[in-house]
Structure 1
Amino acid sequence: MTLQQIHLFEMRRLEMLSNTIFGVAMTLLAYDLPKASSFAQAPDWHDVLRVYAQPVIALTISFVVAGLFWFSHHRRLAVAPEAGRGVVFLNLFFLLSIIILPVTNGLYGSYRLDGVVAVIYGFHLLAIAALNAVLWVLALRGRHDPQLLATALFPVCVFVLGTAMAFIEPRVAQYIWCLAFLAPFAGWLAARRSA
């Protein structure tokens, strides 16, 4: 065993921690949904939409974003099963950004159309995507894999654009953020172009 191998961390341990963090964070997204006690009497369709529409839209965006980043995180750990201390700490910051997701999701679910709240939520999504992209760049060092790189970088571009739109028109930002779900398609296009 070389000295370099002694200082490497087995990422499968981080994988167990990340499964727990993602699972708890994704479950807590539903915590801020309105309770049935929000209604004084049995609600009609209009009441249900008025009370639940914004929080459910925010929950859906956040849940799918978290799910996609969970998938990306596990793929990245498979690509780079060992890493040094710096990459491990960067992964911990990435997981911290996931832990905070229920907080910004609750804020966004309550005040989705407010410009300040939409920008805060957008910056949070951008931070998650940027940390993920940096970790992918580090995992792919010395490898030529345009598909994985494009899949990691595409959400960063989308969240930059969506957050910029949140400054101007918060109502439109949510639709731009949803384009991040096309990241696998962007990776497929990058792979086709390089072939």
Structure 2
Amino acid sequence: MRRLEALSNTIFGVAMTLLAYDLPKASRFASAPAWRDLANAYAQPVIALMISFIVAGVFWLSHHRRLIFAPEGSRGQVFLNLIFLLSIVMLPVTNGLYGAYRLDSVVAVSYGSHLTIIAGLNALLWILALRDHRNPELLATAIFPVFACVFATVLAIVAPSVAQFTWRLAFGAPLAGWWAARRWPPRAN
């Protein structure tokens, strides 16, 4: 798992850096741009980059926390981790589309589906890591983003302009974990 951790650091770092690849280049402008030109060229791509960068950062933190919590894993868990990392590698692709066409339903649903896959794989890995432990806080924190992403993706089908604000619901995961810990406290041995 230590080698997987080193690989994941590299993959997350490269993917998070490549998020900026689709930002408009200065050569797009024939002369020095006005403020309005800059806003028109950069607003949507920068917003998408910030959302995806924060999402990737949160999943990177979760991934490392999980590897610390469960420092050993089966061959199947390592393979599932590699699939999870593949979903992170693909984030710059859907981010580029979302940055350019975030109000298009097909693109918003594609982006949301991708975020749902990432959240789902992360949750599955946490479920495997927690299978011998009763920790409702960590479980709720891992599962909550899946529901938030599914909700935002379904909303993107009919209202992509509203869905762009609902991805943030996934950041309520710590609150869901806090609530679960209070609702189902650990049993005394």
Spell out, residue by residue over 1:8-30, the C-alpha distance to the aligned partner (whole angstroms, 9 max, x if none).
xxx11100000000000000000
Spell out, residue by residue over 1:29-81, the C-alpha distance to the aligned partner (whole angstroms, 9 max, x if none).
00000011111222222111111111011101100000000000000011110
Task: Identify the residue that residue 148 of structure 2 maps to in structure 1.
Answer: 158
- Alpha-carbon distance between aligned partners in 2 of 1:186 and 1:45, rounded to the nearest angstrom: 41
Q: Which amino acid letter does the alignment assign opposite residue 106 of structure 1?
A: G
Q: How far is the alpha carbon of 1:194 from its aligned partner?
A: 2.1
Task: Identify the residue that residue 192 of structure 1 maps to in structure 2.
Answer: 182
Moved more, 63-72 or 168-177: 168-177
- Alpha-carbon distance between aligned partners in 1 of 2:33 and 2:108, rounded to the nearest angstrom: 28
Task: Identify the residue that residue 118 of structure 1 maps to in structure 2.
Answer: 108
Q: Which amino acid letter does the alignment assign opposite residue 21 of structure 2?
A: Y
- Alpha-carbon distance between aligned partners in 2 of 1:142 and 1:17, rounded to the nearest angstrom: 26
Q: Is residue 173 of structure 1 aligned with residue 173 of structure 2?
A: no
Q: Is residue 49 of structure 1 aligned with residue 39 of structure 2?
A: yes
Q: Which amino acid letter does the alignment assign opposite residue 35 of structure 1?
A: K
Aligned residues: 185
- Alpha-carbon distance between aligned partners in 1 of 2:64 and 2:78, rounded to the nearest angstrom: 14
Moved more, 121-130 or 45-54: 45-54
Q: Is residue 100 of structure 1 aligned with residue 72 of structure 2?
A: no
Q: Which amino acid letter does the alignment assign opposite residue 75 of structure 1?
A: R
CA RMSD between the two structures: 0.8
TM-score if structure 2 supplies the norm length? 0.96
Task: Identify the residue that residue 58 of structure 2 maps to in structure 1.
Answer: 68
Task: Identify the residue that residue 91 of structure 1 maps to in structure 2.
Answer: 81
Q: Which structure 2 segments of 5+ residues have no match?
A: none
SS in 1 for 2:57: helix
Q: Which structure 1 segments of 5+ residues have no match?
A: 1-10
Task: Identify the residue that residue 39 of structure 1 maps to in structure 2.
Answer: 29
- Alpha-carbon distance between aligned partners in 1 of 2:37 and 2:169, rounded to the nearest angstrom: 30
- Alpha-carbon distance between aligned partners in 2 of 1:142 and 1:50, rounded to the nearest angstrom: 52
Q: Percent identity, aligned pairs only?
A: 70
- Alpha-carbon distance between aligned partners in 1 of 2:32 and 2:179, rounded to the nearest angstrom: 50
Spell out, residue by residue over 1:131-156, the C-alpha distance to the aligned partner (whole angstroms, 9 max, x if none).
00000000000211011001100100
